[in-house]
Every structure is written in structure tokens, then in C-alpha cells.
Homo-oligomer: A and B are copies of this chain.
Amino acid sequence: MIDFDYWSPTYIAFGKGKEARTGELVRRFGGHKVLLHFGGGSAVRSGLLDRVKASLKDAGVDFVELGGVKPNPRSSLVEEGVRLAIAENVDFLLAVGGGSVIDSSKAIAIGTANGGEWRKYYVGREVKVRPVIPAALPVGVVLTIAAAGSEASTNSVINLEPESLKRGAGGDILRPKFAVMNPEFTMSLPTFQTACGITDMFAHLCERYFSPTRDVTLSDNLCEAVMRTIVEEGPKVMANPSDYQARANIMWAGTLAHNDVCGAGRAQDWASHGIEHELSALYDCAHGAGLAVIMPAWMTFVHGADDARFARFARNVFGVGQGESDGKAALDGIAAFRGWLKSLGMPLTFAELGAREEDIPLLVKTLNLNGNTLGAFKPLTEDDVTAIYRLCL
């Protein structure tokens, strides 16, 4: 186990009807004038946005609105949000939606608190050291998609236009103050989006679990516990989108997969996320769908670096590979993972994703390794990344 700091201060209000507490929670965490940020029509159509507004009014919280956040959230809308928030003297960002809305809100929270400046904190591998974000407005969340974990994470990823580069900002200051989580909100999601979310949260655990750090018994056991939960409950929500209990377990799993309670004390990998971001930046595909293509390919490429770890994954998460050699069990585990993704309706190849073989050199170039390596489990060179992309064909 390596030394770590752990801080996950987000207040979670979980269960049916909890959106009625939104206004109270904004007040509790110091908000008086809110920018209510959301995506497309589903929060409007479902009546959720009206219920949230009613809660704000009941609590005497003033608000302005900005909708229109798209998946892979765009910098242009962030700019618009920052202008609006500054003009309206907003002191609190309220995201009603999923990871994209939350990440867009975090960016606006940075820009509003720093005289309009936010873009310089969104960086990629071109920098060695992330710039420290000096200030950000507090952010609250009413979560409608179980996936990204952004409701309790330190991170935000924005698609920077016009280059269409996905770049991230990070820091404790970006942890949301609260998250209202009513599993009923997730029941009306399209099937494909539900499956993308399940894939994304599972990937967040893999990025932590496949680590070179040893002697992290507790974090290993926690990772496997949440992964097993997702493997078990995910198919239930696919089979019956209105299964409240399965939705609740999946929703809470999405938070714990990424608030870093499962990552304490070890080096993390994050290569698959980096390799995927280039796909969703170039093709505007769903992040979870991109991960479904990349993660098994990454596993296939790297497992030999530590077959014992992959054998443990196979046995403890998917219940396969018992009594086999580690090498054989590792392959069985990857096959089981792939089969599970397929059962969720996820794509597994470039073709299914709409990605193209001839773009691989461009994907590798924009990944911007600059002669460095990517990831910790098995540090990857540009040639390695090329090989992983080719395994997706």
C-alpha cells in the first residue's frame, strides 16, 4: 500500500423523492443564486426540472437556466454559461443530468470564480504538472444517469472546440457539495445509454484494480465487491428497466466506483480511458461504448504483465478460471468480460463503433504521448497503443 490522501465530502441524498430537498441542500452549502444547468429534453419532459425549480423556490433560492448540454460537453456552451453566471451574479452551480452536465457545470464553476478563465485548467498529456485551480463556485448535482461518477469525483472532461480535443481538469475543489440521487430518474434512460453507464462505472474500477501496487488487500476486495455488484445487477436493469432495487444498486455503485474509495493506496492505470477519449473526441461516440471496445483489447494486450492479477479478476469477479493456470484463467476472465459487455448490447469492435482503421495513426498522434508512456499496470508506448487499437478491428 502506498501513502494516500482520501477526501470524499459530497453529501448524498439517496432515494425516492429526494429531489424535493434540492433547495434545502443548495442553502446548506451556501448557495443563494443558482445557475441551473441541464441537457436536452428528458429532464423537462419527465417533470424533474419543474420539481427541482419548485424546491429552489420553496427554499428561497433564485436561479437562471441554461440547458442544451450534449454528451462529450462542448467548450462553447461552457463559455456561454460563464458569461451568464458572471452577468447574473450566480454563486452556485446546479447540474441536473449525468456526467456531461456535471462536467460542464464544473467548468462553468471554475470560469465564474476566475474572471472567465477556465480553459487553461483543462489539459492533457502535453503538461507534466496540472495547473492548480485557484477557485471554483460550489457545485450541486441532481443525478439522472448512473455512469460517470462525476457527482462525487474531482474531475471534469470537456471537448475543447474547434479542435475537438477532450481535455480534463482535476482537483479536490471540483468535488460536488451534494448529489441528489433518486434511482427512479434513471428508469426512463434509453437502453443503450443505461448499458454505456454500466460499462463506464465498471471501467472506473478496472482502472484502479489493474495496478502494479501490492498489499492493498482492502482496496482489492472493495473493487471486486463493487465489480461483482455491477456484473450481477447490470443485467437486471437491462432486462427490467423499472427494477428499482437493481437501479438503486447500480446508481450507488457508479458513485463508489469513482469517488476513489476503491482506489486508496495504489497506483492507478487510466490507460484505457486515455485511449478511449481519442475515440469519443474524433467520432463523438458514447464514452461507455468506446470503453467497451477498448478495455477488452487493452486487457488482451497487457494481461501477460501480471497474469495472476487477471486470474484473480476472472475468479473473483466473473467466477471463471477456478482450478486453471493463471494464464488460462486470465484469458477466460477477459472472455467472460467481453461476453458480459456483449450481453449488455455494447459494441466490441471499431466497426460497431463507427471508427476506422485508417484513423489509427491520427488517434495515436492526438493522444500526444510525446515519447512518454501511458498507464501504470504496463506502461504503453505509441507502438503499444497502436497495437491495442488494431486489436479492436
A interface vs B, CB < 8 Å? Answer: 1-16, 18, 215-218, 221-222, 224-226, 228-229, 232-233, 245, 248-249, 252-253, 256, 261, 264-265
Contacts and interface: CB of A to CB of B under 8 A. Distances in A.
Contact of A217 (B6, B215, B222, B249): B249
Q: Which 3 A-B pairs have the closest CB atoms?
A: A3-B15, A9-B9, A215-B245
Contact of A232 (B10, B217, B248): B217
A264 B4 CA distance: 24
Q: Work out how many copies of this chain go into the complex.
A: 2
9 contacts: A1-B249, A4-B15, A5-B13, A6-B11, A6-B12, A7-B9, A7-B10, A9-B11, A222-B225
Nearest to A222: B225
A221 B215 CA distance: 20
Contacts of A16: 3
B256 A261 contact: yes
Contact of A221 (B6, B11, B229): B229
Contacts of A265: 14, 248, 252
A228 B232 contact: no
Contacts of A233: 217-218
A229 B218 contact: yes
Given A217-B233, A218-B229, A7 B11 contact: yes
Contacts of A222: 222, 225-226, 256
Contact of A245 (B1, B6, B13, B252): B1
Contacts of A249: 1, 215-218
